[in-house]
């Protein structure tokens, strides 16, 4: 049974269509990365899964429960880490966890709090107020709060957005630990590296729907081939190189100060300049080709 | 695996949210209690002793200090319920994003609103008794009926807490609370019969005052102190009705605000 099933889900906000006929299933036990640019519909999808947004049409089932009618029952077995820090900053670390253990109807609250403190590596700081913690500690606590009831399904909404690389790596380590425990994870992100490192499968969202889905390596092979050639130089040089590559049927995308010719292994002689930087095709190439957005 | 079945208005959800409020309250109870105790003392000194010693001696057969002291219960209740509910709800929703976290757990908006109301109601019901205690130091004699004052304060505070939550769920900006305090809370507070008897007001205002829950509370508290009458049951029913209407209104407004 799939942990999450969405069929033809549509959600409008006034004239804006945030989710547009979304079909998505997440099999139990995998980590699915929901990758997409800002405004692709990732956060709205997450909110629909927690019952905080109601779909205008379509069907949503979570852990076998039909939403929105059985949303509370589904949320009992689901943990959520939000994009924004919404901890109670004046309250102690352990009280933040205990409140949510009670909300999730945990029988042994002290034991659940201890376990979550260990997970977040905050046992030594349990009696400190949250506003005394560093940014990384707060993010770990936020993650642990969503796991205090040992959920079957974990929703991570941009779990490392705005974090510095060191803290991001700490969070990745914790999320990787969740995968090995067998939890099903749906993780929205717009960081390519995050999806590549953590996700068993990636669904690329754009304009409210999934435009590609698969294992990162399969997506790369299908949409970006084997090699990408990055060409650097002045604008007129780049314009000429782009025209030449596109004329020979290759796809070209912007790559910061350069252009990237995707599927460069198929380029005929002279299409890609000799001084171009050739590298293995990446998920970033797929993301940019499919969404038209620059990756982060 | 947790096999609990969740139900509507689940006590576990409500007490869970209230435990969050208690955890937060432990960090600021001193300042809140300080103002809740001191304010009635200041009002009693200013109005009860000031006016009582100079302009007014007795009102409706009781000393002016006792008249104001018993009436101050309603003032303490509305200021400890409607205002914290308005500002607290708005801040937790818009700035702290607390409700996003709570609603991601197995909690409904109805449970969230109910828990917030209950917590504010308990607090305001407790603080509402302080003016009576203070007035006792100024000569008010204890009576058995006063044991019901916490209950009267509690049900009135529930209604005004729900009112505050409904307001918070209806405004776009925190500044808009100024309209509510000026146009609703201040008039309710002034025509409650706290500082002067409303039977000296024009007939129309007297009739309107009967619809004011604070006036019903003021009368009930005075009767609790000096002797109940049979129509007090109707006053209790009015307060319970006010609370129920405001509860449903708060749930409706917060659902509109919190659920997209």
Residues A16-69 pLDDT 10s:
999 999 999 999 999 999 998 888 899 899 999 999 999 999 999 999 999 999
Is the predicted pLDDT of residue B51 greater than 50, yes or no? Answer: yes
Average pLDDT, chain A: 90
pLDDT of residue A16: 93
pLDDT of residue B98: 95
Contact B15 A80 (CB under 8 A): no
Is the predicted pLDDT of residue B49 greater than 80, yes or no? Answer: no
Confidence of residue A294 (pLDDT cuts 50, 70, 90): low
Distance from CA of A211 to the nearest CA of B (A): 25
Residues A123-156 pLDDT 10s:
999 999 999 998 888 989 999 999 999 999 999 9
Pick the residue from chain A with its C-alpha nearest to B96: A86
- Name the least confident of A52-66, B168-182, B189-203: B189-203
Which residue of A47, A105, A129 is in closest CB contact with B260?
Answer: A47
Residues B91-102 pLDDT 10s:
999 999 999 999
Confidence of residue A237 (pLDDT cuts 50, 70, 90): confident
pLDDT of residue B101: 95
pLDDT of residue B2: 45
pLDDT, mean of residues A85-101 = 96
**Chain B residues lying within 8 Å of A80, measured CB to CB:** 101, 104-105
- Name the least confident of A28-37, A211-220, A248-257, B5-14: A248-257
**CA-closest candidate to residue A161, choices A122, A198, A187:** A187
Distance from CA of A236 to the nearest CA of B (A): 48
Is the predicted pLDDT of residue B244 greater than 80, yes or no? Answer: yes
Confidence of residue B11 (pLDDT cuts 50, 70, 90): very high
Residues in chain B: 260
Contact B259 A51 (CB under 8 A): yes
- Name the least confident of A112-116, A210-214, A255-259, B53-57: B53-57
The rounded distance, in Å, linking the Cα atoms of A281 and A19 is 29
**Chain B residues lying within 8 Å of A107, measured CB to CB:** 2
pTM of the model: 0.89
- Is the torsion defined by CA of A71, A73, A79, A85 positive or negative? positive
Residues in B lying within 8 Å of A, measured between beta carbons? 1-2, 4-6, 12-13, 15-17, 19-20, 23-24, 27-28, 96-98, 100-108, 258-260
Distances (CA, A) of A104 to A119, A150, B75, B108: 18, 10, 38, 12
- Name the least confident of A7-21, B33-47, B85-99, B152-166: B33-47
Confidence of residue B3 (pLDDT cuts 50, 70, 90): low
Task: Write phi, then psi, for B185 (nearest 5 degrees).
Answer: -70, -45
Instruction: Read off the DSSP letter of residue A64.
Output: T
Interface residue of A70, A86, A90 to substitute, partner B, most B CBs within 10 Å: A86
Is the predicted pLDDT of residue B38 greater than 90, yes or no? Answer: no
| A·B CB contacts under 8 A | 101
pLDDT of residue A293: 61
DSSP β-bridge partners for residue A16: A13
Which residue of A53, A105, A152 is in closest CB contact with B260?
Answer: A53
Q: Kindly provide the b/e burial profile for residues A129-165, where b requires at least 16 CB atoms within 10 angstroms of the residue's own CB.
A: bbeebeebbbbbbbbbbbbbbbbbbbbbbbbbbebee
Q: Which residue has the higher pLDDT, B50 or B189?
A: B189
Pick the residue from chain A with its C-alpha nearest to B13: A103
Distance from CA of B112 to the nearest CA of A (A): 11
Pick the residue from chain B with its C-alpha nearest to A48: B260
pLDDT of residue B32: 87
């Amino acid at each position: 049974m799939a942990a999450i099933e969405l069929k033809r889900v549509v959600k409008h906000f006034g004239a804006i269509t945030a989710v547009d006929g979304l079909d998505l299933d997440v099999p139990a036990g995998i980590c699915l990365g929901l990758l997409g640019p800002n405004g692709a519909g990732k956060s709205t999808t997450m909110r629909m899964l927690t019952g905080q947004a109601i779909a205008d049409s379509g069907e949503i089932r979570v852990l076998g429960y039909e939403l929105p009618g059985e949303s509370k029952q589904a949320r009992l077995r689901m943990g959520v880490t939000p994009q924004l820090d919404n901890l109670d900053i004046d309250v102690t670390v352990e009280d933040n966890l205990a409140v949510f253990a009670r909300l999730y109807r945990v029988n042994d609250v002290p034991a659940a709090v201890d376990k979550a403190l260990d997970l977040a590596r905050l046992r030594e700081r349990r009696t400190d107020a949250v506003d005394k913690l560093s940014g990384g500690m707060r993010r770990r606590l936020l993650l642990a709060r969503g796991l205090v009831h040992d959920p079957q399904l974990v929703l991570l909404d941009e779990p490392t957005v705005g974090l510095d690389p060191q803290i991001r790596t700490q969070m990745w380590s914790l999320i990787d630990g969740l995968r090995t425990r067998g939890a099903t994870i749906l993780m929205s992100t717009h960081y390519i590296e995050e999806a590549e490192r953590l996700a068993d499968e990636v669904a690329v969202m754009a304009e409210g729907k999934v435009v590609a889905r698969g294992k990162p390596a399969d997506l790369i092979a299908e949409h970006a081939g084997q090699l990408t050639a990055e060409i650097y130089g002045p604008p007129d040089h780049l314009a000429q190189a782009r025209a030449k590559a596109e004329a020979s049927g290759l796809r070209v995308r912007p790559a910061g100060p350069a252009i990237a010719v995707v599927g460069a292994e198929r380029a005929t002689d002279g299409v890609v300049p000799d001084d171009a930087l050739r590298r293995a095709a990446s998920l970033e190439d797929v993301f940019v080709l499919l969404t038209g957005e620059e990756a982060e | 695996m947790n096999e609990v079945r969740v139900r509507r208005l689940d006590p576990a959800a409500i007490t869970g949210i209230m435990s969050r409020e208690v955890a937060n309250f432990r960090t600021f109870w001193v300042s809140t209690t300080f103002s809740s105790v001191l304010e009635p003392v200041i009002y009693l000194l200013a109005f009860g002793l000031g006016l009582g010693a100079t302009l007014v001696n007795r009102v409706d057969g009781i000393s002016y200090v006792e008249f104001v002291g018993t009436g101050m219960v309603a003032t303490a209740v509305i200021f400890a319920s409607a205002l914290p509910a308005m500002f607290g709800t708005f801040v937790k929703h818009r700035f702290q994003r607390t409700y996003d976290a709570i609603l991601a757990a197995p909690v409904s908006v109805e449970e969230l609103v109910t828990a917030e109301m209950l917590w504010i109601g308990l607090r305001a019901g407790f603080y509402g008794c302080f003016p009576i205690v203070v007035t006792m130091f100024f000569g008010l004699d204890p009576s058995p009926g006063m044991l019901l004052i916490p209950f009267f304060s509690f049900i009135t505070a529930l209604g005004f807490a729900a009112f505050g939550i409904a307001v918070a769920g209806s405004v776009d900006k925190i500044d808009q609370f100024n309209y509510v305090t000026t146009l609703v809370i201040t008039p309710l507070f002034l025509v409650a019969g706290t500082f002067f008897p409303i039977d000296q007001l024009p007939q129309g205002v007297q009739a309107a005052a009967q619809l004011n829950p604070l006036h019903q509370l003021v009368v009930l508290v005075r009767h609790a102190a000096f002797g109940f009458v049979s129509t007090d049951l109707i006053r209790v029913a009015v307060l319970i009705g006010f609370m129920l209407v405001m509860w449903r209104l708060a749930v409706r407004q917060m659902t509109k605000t919190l659920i997209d």
